[in-house]
Amino acid sequence: MVLSISSTCTLEEVAACCNAVRFFQLCVYKRRDITAKLVQRAENNGYKAIVLTGDSPRHGRREADIKNKIIIQELKNVEGLLSTKIVTDKGSNLDALANQTRDPSFTWEDIGWLKSITKLPILIKGVLTHEDALKALEVGAAGIIVSNHGGRQLDYCPPTISVLEEVVHAVGGKVPVFLDGGVRRGTDIFKAMALGAQAVLVGRPVLYGLAAKGENGVRRVLEMLKEELELTMALSGCSNVKEITRSHVRTKHDWQLLSLL
């Protein structure tokens, strides 16, 4: 599980409730001391990695949130560290909060500072290009998450499945590559793994399950994905995940090449 920095439960509460493998998702604040405290709390509470969100120098224009004037709940992880009571009559207070508190000046070079304050491996989330994948390796990322932030940050950005292979080729097996975004069925997991992802991240389906049937709904969503993946593997002749290979999928690029033969 990757726990959001914006969670309505503290990272300590989540750590105390289960023994699952947990990562902590981090956005860097203008006040670096607050960022450092959050990273240290994650390390002290048994989180296994820091997931640095790298595609949010500014908050994306989320028009539905602005129209509905969304008001977020108190962010428990920064309670007592950072005031989140921002009132705005211009739309979403989430937009105002993000743009007033997060550090838009954070660059590739600053990842060295982040590595200096923790022993935890750092995964960079939000990579969509060959160039950024190489840069992530250069600054010492322990893993890469191919993600377009659920399509909420930049309009017209590519679907993650369409750029996954580009990133995988750039990385060349040096660090794990994960896929985030658009995973709705077990067949989506199968395709991602065939194109080189070591694992996928699932966000919205879990929230759908939670909204529908609470904890049991979340459990059922994960069971459905597992069952669908196993069925896809069986019908594709794969007895384990290591047998899922590039030969099991055809991309648009493949069809274009075949048409030239």
Helix (H) / strand (E) element for 232: namely: helix 204-235
What local confidence, expressed as pLDDT, does residue 85 receive? 65
Which residue in the block uniquely carries the two structure tokens 């982040």? 114
What local confidence, expressed as pLDDT, does residue 91 receive? 63
Helix (H) / strand (E) element for 115: namely: helix 111-116
Look up 149 and say whether it is catalytic: yes
Domains of the chain: 2-202 (3.20.20.70)
Give the CA distances from residue 25 to residues 42, 49, 145, 203, in Å, rounded to whole numbers and listed in that order. Answer: 10, 9, 12, 13
Give the CA distances from residue 256 to residues 152, 165, 193, 251, in Å, rounded to whole numbers and listed in that order. Answer: 30, 16, 22, 9
Name the pTM for this structure. Answer: 0.91
Give the CA distances from residue 231 to residues 9, 40, 190, 234, 249, in Å, rounded to whole numbers and listed in that order. Answer: 35, 42, 10, 5, 16
- Active-site annotation holder among 149, 169, 248, 253: 149
At 171-205, the pLDDT tens digits run 999 999 999 999 999 999 999 999 999 999 999 99
What count of Cα atoms within 13 Å lies in the side-chain half-sphere of residue 163? 21
Closest among 46, 52, 50 to 21, alpha carbons compared:
46
